[in-house]
Structure 1
Amino acid sequence: MWDGFANGKGDFTDGPYEIQNPENFFKDTFYNYGFNPEVGSVGMPVAATIRATMPPEGWQIPLFKKLPSGYIEEVPNPIWEYHKYIPYSKPDLVHDQIVLYGTPNDLDDFCLKAQLVNYIQYRALLEGWTSRMWSKYTGVLIWKTQNPWTGLRGQFYDHLHDQTAGFYGCRSAAEPIHVQLNLATYFIEVVNTTSEELSNVAIEASVWDMEGACPYYKVFDKLSVPSKRTVSSC
Protein backbone atom coordinates (compact mmCIF):
# COMPACT_ATOMS: atom_id res chain seq x y z
CA MET A 1 0.00 0.00 0.00
CA TRP A 2 1.18 3.52 -0.74
CA ASP A 3 2.27 5.08 2.52
CA GLY A 4 1.73 8.64 3.70
CA PHE A 5 1.93 11.61 1.36
CA ALA A 6 2.23 10.71 -2.32
CA ASN A 7 4.47 7.63 -2.58
CA GLY A 8 6.00 8.05 0.87
CA LYS A 9 9.05 9.84 -0.54
CA GLY A 10 7.50 13.25 -1.05
CA ASP A 11 7.07 12.78 -4.81
CA PHE A 12 3.86 14.05 -6.37
CA THR A 13 2.43 15.97 -9.30
CA ASP A 14 -0.68 18.09 -9.55
CA GLY A 15 -3.40 18.08 -12.20
CA PRO A 16 -4.61 17.34 -14.73
CA TYR A 17 -7.03 20.23 -15.20
CA GLU A 18 -8.50 19.39 -18.60
CA ILE A 19 -11.43 17.45 -20.01
CA GLN A 20 -10.95 13.68 -19.76
CA ASN A 21 -12.49 10.56 -21.18
CA PRO A 22 -14.53 9.52 -18.11
CA GLU A 23 -13.11 5.99 -18.13
CA ASN A 24 -9.56 7.36 -17.82
CA PHE A 25 -10.15 8.35 -14.20
CA PHE A 26 -10.44 4.64 -13.34
CA LYS A 27 -7.24 3.52 -15.08
CA ASP A 28 -4.13 2.71 -13.08
CA THR A 29 -2.08 4.97 -15.36
CA PHE A 30 -4.16 8.09 -14.67
CA TYR A 31 -2.13 9.24 -11.67
CA ASN A 32 1.15 7.77 -10.44
CA TYR A 33 1.13 8.71 -6.77
CA GLY A 34 -1.05 8.07 -3.74
CA PHE A 35 -2.09 11.63 -2.93
CA ASN A 36 -2.98 14.34 -5.44
CA PRO A 37 -3.00 17.81 -3.85
CA GLU A 38 -4.73 19.48 -6.79
CA VAL A 39 -6.83 18.13 -9.66
CA GLY A 40 -9.68 19.70 -11.62
CA SER A 41 -11.64 19.73 -14.82
CA VAL A 42 -14.14 21.80 -16.77
CA GLY A 43 -16.63 24.13 -15.07
CA MET A 44 -18.97 25.96 -17.43
CA PRO A 45 -21.76 27.73 -15.48
CA VAL A 46 -25.42 27.99 -16.46
CA ALA A 47 -26.50 30.35 -19.23
CA ALA A 48 -28.06 32.84 -16.80
CA THR A 49 -24.66 33.44 -15.21
CA ILE A 50 -23.05 34.14 -18.59
CA ARG A 51 -25.75 36.68 -19.45
CA ALA A 52 -25.50 38.32 -16.03
CA THR A 53 -21.72 38.71 -16.04
CA MET A 54 -20.76 39.25 -19.69
CA PRO A 55 -21.80 41.60 -22.51
CA PRO A 56 -23.81 40.16 -25.44
CA GLU A 57 -20.67 39.46 -27.47
CA GLY A 58 -19.71 37.02 -24.71
CA TRP A 59 -22.88 35.01 -25.24
CA GLN A 60 -21.52 33.47 -28.45
CA ILE A 61 -20.81 29.76 -28.03
CA PRO A 62 -17.58 28.22 -29.37
CA LEU A 63 -17.15 27.27 -32.98
CA PHE A 64 -16.80 23.50 -33.41
CA LYS A 65 -13.99 22.98 -35.90
CA LYS A 66 -13.73 19.41 -37.18
CA LEU A 67 -10.14 18.33 -37.76
CA PRO A 68 -8.87 15.80 -40.34
CA SER A 69 -8.36 13.33 -37.47
CA GLY A 70 -12.11 13.39 -36.77
CA TYR A 71 -11.68 15.20 -33.48
CA ILE A 72 -13.28 18.58 -32.82
CA GLU A 73 -11.41 21.69 -31.76
CA GLU A 74 -13.44 24.29 -29.89
CA VAL A 75 -12.73 27.92 -30.81
CA PRO A 76 -14.18 30.15 -28.05
CA ASN A 77 -14.90 33.84 -28.35
CA PRO A 78 -12.23 36.27 -27.01
CA ILE A 79 -14.19 37.01 -23.83
CA TRP A 80 -14.31 33.33 -22.92
CA GLU A 81 -10.60 33.02 -23.63
CA TYR A 82 -9.94 35.94 -21.27
CA HIS A 83 -12.00 34.20 -18.60
CA LYS A 84 -9.84 31.05 -18.90
CA TYR A 85 -12.41 28.80 -20.56
CA ILE A 86 -11.44 25.11 -20.55
CA PRO A 87 -12.70 23.41 -23.75
CA TYR A 88 -14.80 20.26 -23.60
CA SER A 89 -12.60 18.62 -26.22
CA LYS A 90 -8.93 17.75 -26.46
CA PRO A 91 -8.04 17.02 -30.09
CA ASP A 92 -6.42 13.62 -30.71
CA LEU A 93 -7.15 12.54 -27.11
CA VAL A 94 -10.72 13.36 -26.07
CA HIS A 95 -13.69 13.73 -28.41
CA ASP A 96 -15.87 16.75 -27.67
CA GLN A 97 -17.98 15.69 -24.70
CA ILE A 98 -20.69 18.29 -25.37
CA VAL A 99 -21.16 17.27 -29.00
CA LEU A 100 -21.81 13.71 -27.78
CA TYR A 101 -25.26 15.06 -26.85
CA GLY A 102 -25.68 16.82 -30.20
CA THR A 103 -24.17 20.03 -31.55
CA PRO A 104 -25.58 22.89 -29.43
CA ASN A 105 -27.69 25.55 -31.13
CA ASP A 106 -27.28 28.48 -28.76
CA LEU A 107 -26.00 29.53 -25.33
CA ASP A 108 -28.84 27.86 -23.42
CA ASP A 109 -28.37 24.59 -25.27
CA PHE A 110 -24.59 24.71 -24.85
CA CYS A 111 -24.72 25.40 -21.11
CA LEU A 112 -27.36 22.73 -20.51
CA LYS A 113 -25.27 20.07 -22.26
CA ALA A 114 -22.18 21.34 -20.46
CA GLN A 115 -23.91 20.57 -17.15
CA LEU A 116 -24.37 16.95 -18.22
CA VAL A 117 -20.65 16.75 -18.90
CA ASN A 118 -19.76 18.57 -15.66
CA TYR A 119 -21.75 16.00 -13.70
CA ILE A 120 -20.10 13.02 -15.40
CA GLN A 121 -16.58 14.47 -15.20
CA TYR A 122 -16.54 15.15 -11.47
CA ARG A 123 -18.48 12.05 -10.53
CA ALA A 124 -16.03 9.89 -12.51
CA LEU A 125 -13.06 11.78 -11.05
CA LEU A 126 -13.99 10.95 -7.46
CA GLU A 127 -15.26 7.47 -8.28
CA GLY A 128 -11.93 6.71 -9.95
CA TRP A 129 -10.13 7.68 -6.76
CA THR A 130 -12.41 5.71 -4.45
CA SER A 131 -12.12 2.71 -6.78
CA ARG A 132 -8.56 2.36 -5.45
CA MET A 133 -9.13 3.84 -2.00
CA TRP A 134 -6.28 2.79 0.33
CA SER A 135 -5.00 0.23 -2.19
CA LYS A 136 -3.25 2.89 -4.29
CA TYR A 137 -4.75 6.28 -3.47
CA THR A 138 -4.73 7.96 -0.07
CA GLY A 139 -6.59 11.14 -0.98
CA VAL A 140 -7.29 13.92 -3.46
CA LEU A 141 -8.09 17.63 -3.30
CA ILE A 142 -10.31 19.26 -5.93
CA TRP A 143 -9.12 22.50 -7.52
CA LYS A 144 -11.38 24.26 -7.09
CA THR A 145 -14.83 24.57 -5.56
CA GLN A 146 -15.49 28.19 -6.57
CA ASN A 147 -13.93 30.90 -8.72
CA PRO A 148 -13.19 34.25 -7.03
CA TRP A 149 -14.10 35.87 -10.35
CA THR A 150 -16.19 34.99 -13.42
CA GLY A 151 -13.85 32.20 -14.50
CA LEU A 152 -15.01 29.50 -16.92
CA ARG A 153 -13.10 26.56 -15.52
CA GLY A 154 -13.07 24.07 -12.64
CA GLN A 155 -15.79 25.07 -10.18
CA PHE A 156 -18.69 23.59 -8.23
CA TYR A 157 -20.52 26.90 -7.98
CA ASP A 158 -19.99 30.02 -10.02
CA HIS A 159 -19.28 33.67 -9.24
CA LEU A 160 -22.98 34.23 -8.46
CA HIS A 161 -23.05 31.16 -6.16
CA ASP A 162 -25.13 29.04 -8.52
CA GLN A 163 -24.09 25.38 -8.49
CA THR A 164 -22.78 23.72 -11.60
CA ALA A 165 -23.69 20.07 -12.14
CA GLY A 166 -20.15 19.17 -11.09
CA PHE A 167 -21.28 19.84 -7.51
CA TYR A 168 -23.98 17.19 -7.78
CA GLY A 169 -21.64 14.71 -9.47
CA CYS A 170 -19.19 15.15 -6.61
CA ARG A 171 -21.96 14.82 -4.01
CA SER A 172 -23.14 11.58 -5.58
CA ALA A 173 -19.67 10.04 -5.74
CA ALA A 174 -18.86 11.12 -2.18
CA GLU A 175 -21.74 9.23 -0.55
CA PRO A 176 -20.49 7.36 2.55
CA ILE A 177 -21.87 4.16 1.02
CA HIS A 178 -21.80 4.32 -2.76
CA VAL A 179 -22.41 1.91 -5.62
CA GLN A 180 -20.57 2.75 -8.83
CA LEU A 181 -19.73 1.37 -12.25
CA ASN A 182 -16.02 1.16 -12.97
CA LEU A 183 -15.96 2.72 -16.44
CA ALA A 184 -12.65 1.04 -17.34
CA THR A 185 -13.58 -2.54 -16.35
CA TYR A 186 -17.40 -2.30 -16.27
CA PHE A 187 -17.36 -4.06 -12.89
CA ILE A 188 -19.84 -2.88 -10.28
CA GLU A 189 -18.09 -1.60 -7.16
CA VAL A 190 -19.32 -0.87 -3.65
CA VAL A 191 -17.54 1.87 -1.71
CA ASN A 192 -17.77 1.93 2.07
CA THR A 193 -16.11 4.97 3.64
CA THR A 194 -17.86 4.49 6.99
CA SER A 195 -16.31 3.08 10.16
CA GLU A 196 -18.62 0.05 10.12
CA GLU A 197 -18.49 -3.09 8.00
CA LEU A 198 -21.39 -3.72 5.64
CA SER A 199 -22.71 -7.25 5.77
CA ASN A 200 -25.42 -9.19 3.97
CA VAL A 201 -26.23 -6.34 1.58
CA ALA A 202 -27.61 -6.61 -1.95
CA ILE A 203 -27.17 -4.61 -5.16
CA GLU A 204 -29.79 -4.43 -7.88
CA ALA A 205 -28.24 -3.66 -11.28
CA SER A 206 -30.06 -2.97 -14.54
CA VAL A 207 -29.23 -1.57 -17.97
CA TRP A 208 -31.78 0.35 -20.03
CA ASP A 209 -31.56 1.27 -23.70
CA MET A 210 -32.89 4.35 -25.49
CA GLU A 211 -36.11 2.52 -26.37
CA GLY A 212 -36.94 1.86 -22.72
CA ALA A 213 -36.07 -1.85 -22.85
CA CYS A 214 -34.03 -3.55 -20.12
CA PRO A 215 -31.55 -6.01 -21.72
CA TYR A 216 -29.73 -6.69 -18.43
CA TYR A 217 -30.94 -7.17 -14.87
CA LYS A 218 -29.22 -8.89 -11.97
CA VAL A 219 -29.25 -8.87 -8.18
CA PHE A 220 -25.98 -9.37 -6.30
CA ASP A 221 -26.78 -10.43 -2.75
CA LYS A 222 -25.04 -11.48 0.45
CA LEU A 223 -22.23 -9.00 -0.09
CA SER A 224 -19.84 -7.88 2.63
CA VAL A 225 -17.79 -4.69 2.43
CA PRO A 226 -15.16 -3.94 5.09
CA SER A 227 -14.88 -0.48 6.59
CA LYS A 228 -12.89 2.03 4.50
CA ARG A 229 -12.73 -0.31 1.52
CA THR A 230 -14.00 -0.70 -2.03
CA VAL A 231 -14.99 -4.13 -3.32
CA SER A 232 -15.98 -5.34 -6.78
CA SER A 233 -19.16 -7.38 -7.05
CA CYS A 234 -18.44 -8.91 -10.45
Structure 2
Amino acid sequence: MELIGTELQAAMPPEVFAGRRHADLQQLNSADCDRLSRLDRPLIRCDGSAHHTSIGWDEVHALTADAFRRADPARRASNSSSSSSNGAPFLVQLLLRALGSNNRADCSDLSHAPSTIGLTREFGSGTPMVNLESLQQADGVVLVGSNAPANHPRLMNELIRLRERGGLVVVINPVLAAGLLTFGSPAFPIRSMLAGGSEIALLLGLQKALLERGAIG
Protein backbone atom coordinates (compact mmCIF):
# COMPACT_ATOMS: atom_id res chain seq x y z
CA MET A 1 0.00 0.00 0.00
CA GLU A 2 2.93 2.33 0.61
CA LEU A 3 3.96 1.68 -3.00
CA ILE A 4 0.53 2.77 -4.22
CA GLY A 5 0.72 5.87 -2.01
CA THR A 6 4.09 6.74 -3.54
CA GLU A 7 2.66 6.45 -7.04
CA LEU A 8 -0.02 9.00 -6.14
CA GLN A 9 2.51 11.75 -5.43
CA ALA A 10 3.06 14.71 -7.71
CA ALA A 11 5.76 14.50 -10.37
CA MET A 12 9.30 15.08 -9.16
CA PRO A 13 10.53 18.62 -9.93
CA PRO A 14 13.67 18.83 -12.13
CA GLU A 15 15.71 20.53 -9.41
CA VAL A 16 15.65 17.34 -7.32
CA PHE A 17 18.33 15.82 -9.52
CA ALA A 18 19.91 19.06 -10.67
CA GLY A 19 20.82 19.88 -7.08
CA ARG A 20 21.96 16.43 -5.99
CA ARG A 21 25.03 14.51 -7.05
CA HIS A 22 24.97 10.77 -7.57
CA ALA A 23 27.00 10.35 -4.38
CA ASP A 24 24.38 12.33 -2.44
CA LEU A 25 21.55 10.14 -3.72
CA GLN A 26 23.44 7.02 -2.69
CA GLN A 27 23.23 8.16 0.94
CA LEU A 28 19.41 8.15 0.92
CA ASN A 29 17.48 5.21 2.28
CA SER A 30 14.34 3.82 0.64
CA ALA A 31 11.96 6.05 2.62
CA ASP A 32 13.98 9.17 1.78
CA CYS A 33 13.86 8.28 -1.91
CA ASP A 34 10.08 7.88 -1.75
CA ARG A 35 9.76 11.35 -0.21
CA LEU A 36 11.51 12.91 -3.20
CA SER A 37 8.21 12.39 -5.05
CA ARG A 38 7.29 10.38 -8.14
CA LEU A 39 9.77 9.96 -10.98
CA ASP A 40 7.95 10.79 -14.23
CA ARG A 41 10.74 10.81 -16.82
CA PRO A 42 13.80 8.76 -17.80
CA LEU A 43 17.19 9.77 -16.44
CA ILE A 44 20.77 8.92 -17.32
CA ARG A 45 24.14 9.36 -15.66
CA CYS A 46 26.98 9.27 -18.14
CA ASP A 47 30.49 8.09 -17.33
CA GLY A 48 32.41 10.78 -15.50
CA SER A 49 29.30 12.79 -14.59
CA ALA A 50 28.28 13.47 -11.00
CA HIS A 51 24.64 14.18 -11.87
CA HIS A 52 21.67 12.47 -13.49
CA THR A 53 20.08 14.26 -16.44
CA SER A 54 16.74 13.84 -18.22
CA ILE A 55 16.62 12.23 -21.65
CA GLY A 56 13.83 11.56 -24.13
CA TRP A 57 12.17 8.21 -24.68
CA ASP A 58 13.57 7.90 -28.21
CA GLU A 59 17.06 8.05 -26.74
CA VAL A 60 16.11 5.49 -24.09
CA HIS A 61 14.90 3.09 -26.77
CA ALA A 62 18.03 3.59 -28.87
CA LEU A 63 20.40 3.07 -25.93
CA THR A 64 18.53 -0.01 -24.74
CA ALA A 65 18.40 -1.61 -28.18
CA ASP A 66 22.10 -0.97 -28.70
CA ALA A 67 22.98 -2.48 -25.32
CA PHE A 68 20.95 -5.61 -26.03
CA ARG A 69 22.54 -6.03 -29.45
CA ARG A 70 26.11 -5.70 -28.15
CA ALA A 71 25.77 -7.82 -25.01
CA ASP A 72 26.61 -11.50 -24.87
CA PRO A 73 23.35 -13.52 -24.58
CA ALA A 74 24.51 -14.98 -21.26
CA ARG A 75 24.71 -11.43 -19.85
CA ARG A 76 21.26 -10.34 -21.02
CA ALA A 77 18.60 -10.28 -18.31
CA SER A 78 15.38 -8.57 -17.30
CA ASN A 79 13.24 -8.03 -14.24
CA SER A 80 9.52 -7.36 -14.04
CA SER A 81 7.30 -5.84 -11.38
CA SER A 82 4.00 -6.92 -9.88
CA SER A 83 2.81 -3.37 -10.60
CA SER A 84 3.05 -3.92 -14.35
CA SER A 85 0.42 -5.50 -16.54
CA ASN A 86 0.41 -9.21 -17.35
CA GLY A 87 1.22 -8.43 -20.96
CA ALA A 88 4.46 -6.52 -20.34
CA PRO A 89 6.46 -9.38 -18.72
CA PHE A 90 5.13 -11.76 -21.39
CA LEU A 91 6.52 -9.55 -24.15
CA VAL A 92 9.82 -9.08 -22.30
CA GLN A 93 10.39 -12.82 -21.95
CA LEU A 94 9.65 -13.28 -25.66
CA LEU A 95 12.22 -10.60 -26.48
CA LEU A 96 14.88 -12.16 -24.25
CA ARG A 97 14.37 -15.62 -25.68
CA ALA A 98 14.52 -14.24 -29.21
CA LEU A 99 17.88 -12.74 -28.23
CA GLY A 100 19.14 -16.09 -26.93
CA SER A 101 18.70 -15.54 -23.19
CA ASN A 102 16.51 -17.17 -20.56
CA ASN A 103 17.63 -14.88 -17.71
CA ARG A 104 14.23 -13.47 -16.83
CA ALA A 105 13.59 -12.59 -13.21
CA ASP A 106 10.28 -11.41 -11.83
CA CYS A 107 8.95 -9.91 -8.63
CA SER A 108 8.81 -13.36 -6.99
CA ASP A 109 12.60 -13.68 -7.32
CA LEU A 110 13.50 -10.25 -5.98
CA SER A 111 10.79 -8.14 -4.36
CA HIS A 112 9.06 -11.10 -2.73
CA ALA A 113 12.18 -12.96 -1.60
CA PRO A 114 11.94 -11.75 2.05
CA SER A 115 8.26 -12.66 2.32
CA THR A 116 8.99 -16.04 0.72
CA ILE A 117 11.50 -16.82 3.47
CA GLY A 118 9.11 -15.64 6.17
CA LEU A 119 6.19 -17.66 4.81
CA THR A 120 8.34 -20.78 4.59
CA ARG A 121 9.46 -20.45 8.20
CA GLU A 122 5.95 -19.83 9.54
CA PHE A 123 3.76 -21.96 7.29
CA GLY A 124 6.08 -24.36 5.48
CA SER A 125 5.42 -22.90 2.04
CA GLY A 126 6.91 -19.87 0.35
CA THR A 127 3.94 -19.39 -1.96
CA PRO A 128 0.49 -17.94 -1.22
CA MET A 129 -1.93 -20.43 0.28
CA VAL A 130 -5.00 -18.98 -1.43
CA ASN A 131 -5.75 -20.17 -4.95
CA LEU A 132 -8.62 -19.76 -7.38
CA GLU A 133 -10.31 -22.87 -6.00
CA SER A 134 -10.27 -21.28 -2.53
CA LEU A 135 -12.00 -18.18 -3.90
CA GLN A 136 -14.63 -20.33 -5.55
CA GLN A 137 -15.64 -21.62 -2.10
CA ALA A 138 -15.23 -18.37 -0.16
CA ASP A 139 -18.04 -16.31 1.36
CA GLY A 140 -15.90 -13.20 1.69
CA VAL A 141 -12.60 -11.76 0.51
CA VAL A 142 -10.47 -8.89 1.84
CA LEU A 143 -8.24 -7.19 -0.74
CA VAL A 144 -5.39 -5.09 0.68
CA GLY A 145 -3.57 -2.77 -1.73
CA SER A 146 -4.72 -4.73 -4.78
CA ASN A 147 -4.56 -3.59 -8.39
CA ALA A 148 -6.73 -6.49 -9.55
CA PRO A 149 -8.91 -4.50 -12.00
CA ALA A 150 -5.86 -3.43 -14.01
CA ASN A 151 -3.63 -6.48 -13.86
CA HIS A 152 -5.42 -9.60 -12.62
CA PRO A 153 -8.46 -10.48 -14.77
CA ARG A 154 -8.72 -14.07 -13.49
CA LEU A 155 -8.94 -12.83 -9.91
CA MET A 156 -11.56 -10.27 -10.92
CA ASN A 157 -13.66 -12.98 -12.56
CA GLU A 158 -13.73 -14.95 -9.31
CA LEU A 159 -14.59 -11.83 -7.29
CA ILE A 160 -17.49 -11.09 -9.63
CA ARG A 161 -18.78 -14.64 -9.20
CA LEU A 162 -18.38 -14.36 -5.43
CA ARG A 163 -20.47 -11.18 -5.37
CA GLU A 164 -23.10 -12.73 -7.65
CA ARG A 165 -23.61 -15.56 -5.17
CA GLY A 166 -24.02 -13.11 -2.30
CA GLY A 167 -20.45 -12.95 -1.00
CA LEU A 168 -18.73 -9.90 0.46
CA VAL A 169 -15.65 -8.16 -0.94
CA VAL A 170 -13.88 -5.68 1.36
CA VAL A 171 -11.34 -3.40 -0.33
CA ILE A 172 -8.63 -1.70 1.76
CA ASN A 173 -6.82 0.58 -0.62
CA PRO A 174 -5.63 4.22 -0.74
CA VAL A 175 -6.82 4.28 -4.36
CA LEU A 176 -10.55 4.28 -5.09
CA ALA A 177 -10.26 1.92 -8.06
CA ALA A 178 -13.43 2.14 -10.15
CA GLY A 179 -13.13 -1.51 -11.12
CA LEU A 180 -13.32 -2.56 -7.48
CA LEU A 181 -16.18 -0.21 -6.66
CA THR A 182 -18.59 -1.21 -9.40
CA PHE A 183 -17.68 -4.68 -10.69
CA GLY A 184 -20.53 -7.18 -11.05
CA SER A 185 -22.59 -5.76 -8.22
CA PRO A 186 -21.62 -3.04 -5.73
CA ALA A 187 -18.69 -3.80 -3.44
CA PHE A 188 -18.19 -2.18 -0.06
CA PRO A 189 -14.81 -0.44 0.18
CA ILE A 190 -12.96 0.57 3.30
CA ARG A 191 -10.57 3.33 2.30
CA SER A 192 -7.33 3.31 4.27
CA MET A 193 -5.38 6.46 5.09
CA LEU A 194 -2.48 7.26 2.78
CA ALA A 195 -0.04 7.63 5.67
CA GLY A 196 2.52 4.85 5.65
CA GLY A 197 1.71 2.09 8.11
CA SER A 198 -1.96 3.02 8.52
CA GLU A 199 -3.02 -0.32 7.09
CA ILE A 200 -1.18 -2.03 9.96
CA ALA A 201 -3.34 -0.24 12.53
CA LEU A 202 -6.47 -1.11 10.57
CA LEU A 203 -5.61 -4.80 10.30
CA LEU A 204 -4.64 -4.99 13.98
CA GLY A 205 -8.01 -3.46 14.85
CA LEU A 206 -9.81 -6.03 12.72
CA GLN A 207 -7.89 -8.86 14.40
CA LYS A 208 -8.70 -7.45 17.85
CA ALA A 209 -12.40 -7.32 16.99
CA LEU A 210 -12.35 -10.91 15.73
CA LEU A 211 -10.56 -12.11 18.87
CA GLU A 212 -13.04 -10.32 21.14
CA ARG A 213 -15.93 -11.98 19.31
CA GLY A 214 -14.31 -15.41 19.56
CA ALA A 215 -14.11 -15.70 15.79
CA ILE A 216 -10.43 -16.74 15.88
CA GLY A 217 -9.46 -19.94 17.64
TM-score normalised over the length of structure 1: 0.23
Greater helix fraction, Structure 1 or Structure 2: 2
Greater strand fraction, Structure 1 or Structure 2: 1
- Rg larger in structure: 2
